[in-house]
A = this chain, B = another copy of it.
Amino acid sequence: MLALLKNIDQFKIILASQSPRRLELLKMIGLDFEVKPSNIIEKNHNSLQPLDYALMNAKEKARVVSEKYPNSVVISADTIVVLGNQILEKPENDNHAFEILKQLNGKTHEVITAFGVILKSKEISKFDSERTKVKFRKLPHDKIKAYVKTSEPLDKAGGYGAQGLGSLLIEKVDGCFYNVVGFPLGKFYLMLEEILNEL
């Protein structure tokens, strides 16, 4: 399917993210790319709506990397986990992970990924977002503690990984599953196709 993308071989593609999940997902659909993390520090978000916060971060990541690689298609994304109107961060330690997971336990939260592409030399900058609802099973605290002990929560927004043991926490998803893993492959593919067609 990727072979059908017009002009795909004319540009170097860069993923401005060091998330191993994103890297794996983009490889899964056969995309050929290099990884150049932006290393930006994600800013305080108290004053922003969750989606605006994610969009701001995704845009900033792509912008920073595009400065260095103006002739490359730079892809970026930012995934957040939202319960009510509260953004749940990556846990700082095991206790924090346990607190976050207790909040999510038995409830439905939303995973929002802002994502997009900058091709600076052609003045292309396109961003969009995807939302997926995730319902967690109601688990006893000893199960949540056992999950925290696996260390899987530590580098993940919301403190769980949908591709891993965290799959056992999820009762159902409603929407794009890969968005929950960290990158909405389907919607991204359509965006990339549109951009390449316009070139």
A residues in contact (CB < 8 Å) with B:
1-4, 28-30, 137, 142-143, 146-147, 150, 162-165, 167-178, 185-186, 189
Contacts and interface: CB of A to CB of B under 8 A. Distances in A.
B186 A171 contact: yes
A174 B172 contact: yes
A3 B172 contact: no
25 contacts: A1-B143, A1-B146, A1-B165, A2-B165, A3-B146, A4-B143, A4-B146, A28-B164, A28-B165, A29-B165, A137-B186, A167-B185, A167-B186, A168-B185, A169-B186, A170-B176, A170-B186, A171-B176, A172-B174, A172-B176, A173-B175, A173-B176, A173-B177, A174-B174, A177-B177
Contact of A167 (B2, B3, B28, B172): B28
A142 B189 CA distance: 16
Contacts of A174: 172-174
Given A28-B163, A28-B167, A1 B186 contact: no
A165 B30 contact: yes
Nearest to A190: B137
Nearest to A144: B1
A178 B28 CA distance: 16
Question: Nearest 4 pairs between A and B by C-beta?
Answer: A177-B177, A1-B146, A4-B146, A167-B185
